[in-house]
């Protein structure tokens, strides 16, 4: 009986202890284990999955944004440089280079012995460039000294006498413009136009510029 009671007590004690122990063990360790597991899992999940997603999202966003910035800067710079260079070069070309080439042209034009007749009409290159002149065969011939005057024809040995048909003097371009009696009517018409703005006799330079 004694043994039986003792056995019972021990059994109960062990049982209780076992229960408590298991209970405590489960309660603490399993709970901690599960908690840790879940915690680790969530943390890992957050770290890898969400972090990666956010990073990818930010990357995409930044990339897109950067793309716009890039495009904007590129376009802006391109437009700016293009406009600036274009305007600058254009202006430079038009002012400086044209001025220089006209100066050079003028220098050569002043120095040369050729085109003496033309020079009387156009002594100034830049002035000539400003005139809008409808060049006909007659005007070109006249201003280049190749007008078919008797003087010209005589110089090229086509006719024997350079004397004008009016009988007074050699028939040069100057003679026909300023002197010839036979062209009084035409000269009067020219004079009337010329004297509205200039004085007669007008220089050939002003004649070609204004009339
Ligand atoms: Zn004459």
State the average pLDDT for the chain. Answer: 82
Query: pLDDT-derived band of residue 120, with 50, 70 and 90 as boundaries?
Result: confident
Same structural domain for residues 86 and 9?
Answer: yes
Among the listed residues 192, 190, 186, the one whose alpha carbon sits nearest the alpha carbon of residue 204? 190
133 CA distance to ligand 1 middle (Å): 27
pLDDT at 12: 74
pLDDT at 179: 92
Same structural domain for residues 104 and 1?
Answer: yes
Same structural domain for residues 18 and 64?
Answer: yes
Same structural domain for residues 58 and 147?
Answer: no
Over 90: is that where the pLDDT of 171 sits? yes
Same structural domain for residues 122 and 192?
Answer: yes
Share of the chain above pLDDT 70, in %: 92
Q: Phi and psi of 163, rounded to 5°? A: -65, 140
pLDDT at 186: 92
Same structural domain for residues 91 and 181?
Answer: no
13 CA distance to ligand 1 middle (Å): 159
pLDDT at 3: 63
**Boundary (domain end) residue, out of 88, 111, 134:** 111
180 CA distance to ligand 1 middle (Å): 4
How many domains does the chain divide into? 2
pLDDT at 1: 52
198 CA distance to ligand 1 middle (Å): 24
142 CA distance to ligand 1 middle (Å): 16
For 170, the 3-state DSSP assignment is strand
Q: What whole-number distance in Å separates Cα of residue 159 and Cα of residue 166? A: 16
What is the model's pTM? 0.50
Q: What whole-number distance in Å separates Cα of residue 121 and Cα of residue 209? A: 8
144 CA distance to ligand 1 middle (Å): 20
Same structural domain for residues 40 and 73?
Answer: yes
**Boundary (domain end) residue, out of 76, 91, 111:** 111
Over 80: is that where the pLDDT of 149 sits? yes
Over 80: is that where the pLDDT of 181 sits? yes
Tokens of residue 36, six digits = 């840790």
145 CA distance to ligand 1 middle (Å): 17
Characterise 157 by phi-psi region: left (phi > 0), alpha (psi -120 to 50), beta (else): left
Q: What whole-number distance in Å separates Cα of residue 172 and Cα of residue 149? A: 6
Q: What is the domain extent for residue 96?
A: 1-111
Same structural domain for residues 102 and 131?
Answer: no
Same structural domain for residues 173 and 102?
Answer: no
Same structural domain for residues 102 and 9?
Answer: yes
């Amino acid at each position: 009986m004694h043994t039986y009671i003792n056995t019972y007590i021990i059994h109960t004690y062990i049982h209780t202890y076992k229960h408590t122990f298991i209970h405590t063990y489960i309660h603490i360790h399993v709970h901690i284990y599960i908690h840790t597991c879940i915690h680790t899992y969530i943390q890992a999940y957050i770290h890898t999955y969400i972090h990666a997603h956010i990073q990818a999202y930010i990357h995409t966003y930044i990339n897109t944004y950067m793309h716009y910035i890039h495009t904007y800067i590129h376009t802006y710079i391109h437009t700016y440089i293009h406009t600036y260079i274009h305007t600058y070069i254009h202006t430079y070309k038009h002012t400086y280079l044209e001025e220089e080439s006209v100066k050079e042209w003028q220098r050569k034009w002043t120095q040369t012995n050729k085109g003496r007749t033309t020079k009387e009409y156009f002594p100034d290159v830049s002035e000539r460039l400003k005139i809008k002149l409808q060049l006909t065969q007659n005007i070109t011939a006249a201003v280049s000294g190749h007008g078919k005057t008797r003087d010209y024809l005589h110089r090229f040995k086509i006719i024997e006498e350079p004397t004008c048909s009016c009988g007074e003097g050699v028939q040069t371009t100057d003679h026909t413009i300023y002197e010839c009696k036979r062209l009084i009517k035409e000269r009067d018409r020219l004079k009337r136009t010329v004297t509205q703005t200039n004085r007669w006799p007008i220089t050939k330079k002003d004649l070609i510029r204004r009339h």
